[in-house]
Amino acid sequence: MGALVPSRAMRHKSVMDAASGDAGIDGRAGQGIAPLQLLRTVGRAVVDYALPPRCPGCGTIVDGDRQFCLGCWSSLDFLDGAACARCSIPLPTAVAGTGVECGACMADPPSFSGAPAAVAYGPVARTVALRLKYGRRTGHARLMAGLMTRKLLALGDPADMLLIPVPLHRWRLWSRGFNQAAMIADALARQTGVPRDHHLLLRKKSTAALRGKGRREREKIVAGAFGLAADARARVARRHLVLIDDVHASGATLRSAAKVLHRGGAAQVSALTWARVVPDALTTGNIFDFADVDSDMVVKR
């Protein structure tokens, strides 16, 4: 079986894409993958090439690369229902309408004008994100990008856009070997033609885990975490900058990064992620009282 895929690439392309590392759209080395990790990634791609394709959600053998099995596909929530116009948190249908924002965005508007995600954060979305983050499954970045493309193109004119992956601090980049957000941005750039820039936004400090922290505390932790490259202004001016990350949890990281891009002179800032954490409290009606995980703090299993 195996159902509904964003694209069907030839299997040898996986090897070629991995081997190209982070050359990316503009040909410059960036945060996608560190040179010393390249061999491992190529090795992984070769192993993937030799084995039958498996569902990225549960590991069941499927017909083709980057196909979910029917069960996993059916379990994904593509977040097409009523939502906050700015941060995309689901809203009760009775409240939602064109341009309606959630209480958190009205009380403290973020610097991004929209923040869609491909899917809600659930068991399958989580597995895919973790396998990219810790398993170096580079094919998963292409899978995620394929399902993010529709939301990206709905944000505005692609000709004005520049993709900005949320950067890792260099210590974390060294220890992990690659930045999963940069790999998703690379894949999105390849699939849509929208350019990406790995060097515009900088991570100036390594931030502590945000999980379990209150809102004020999270804001304090990420304050000053980001900065712009010295030559960034000319690249930012009049552009629609789209932050790219794997998981949108509390939004503190995206808010902090968006603020820096906005102050840098961007015409518009958006944030696009693979998965949006949707509070369980939604079902109880208490949708704005939510302490959650941060994308850097998704627990490895």
Q: Which residues bind Zn ion (CB under 5 A)?
A: 55, 57-58, 60, 69, 72, 84, 86-87, 102, 105
Q: Give the nearest distance from C-beta 122 to Zn ion in angstroms.
A: 13
Distance, CA of 169 to CA of 275 (rounded, Å): 22
Closer residue to Zn ion, CB minimum distance, 36 or 107: 107
Closer residue to Zn ion, CB minimum distance, 25 or 58: 58
Contact 2, 68 (CB under 8 A): yes
3-state class (DSSP) for residue 162: strand
Q: Give the nearest distance from C-beta 123 to Zn ion in angstroms.
A: 10
Task: State the DSSP code for 230.
Answer: T
The two three-digit tokens of residue 23, written as one number: 């050359």
Residue 123 identity (one-letter amino acid):
P
Can you give the length of the chain in residues? 301
Q: Give the nearest distance from C-beta 277 to Zn ion in angstroms.
A: 13
Q: Give the nearest distance from C-beta 135 to Zn ion in angstroms.
A: 16
Closer residue to Zn ion, CB minimum distance, 20 or 60: 60
Closer residue to Zn ion, CB minimum distance, 142 or 255: 255
The two three-digit tokens of residue 207, written as one number: 């931030």
Closer residue to Zn ion, CB minimum distance, 105 or 155: 105
CB atoms within 10 A of CB 110: 22
3-state class (DSSP) for residue 201: strand
Q: Give the nearest distance from C-beta 71 to Zn ion in angstroms.
A: 5
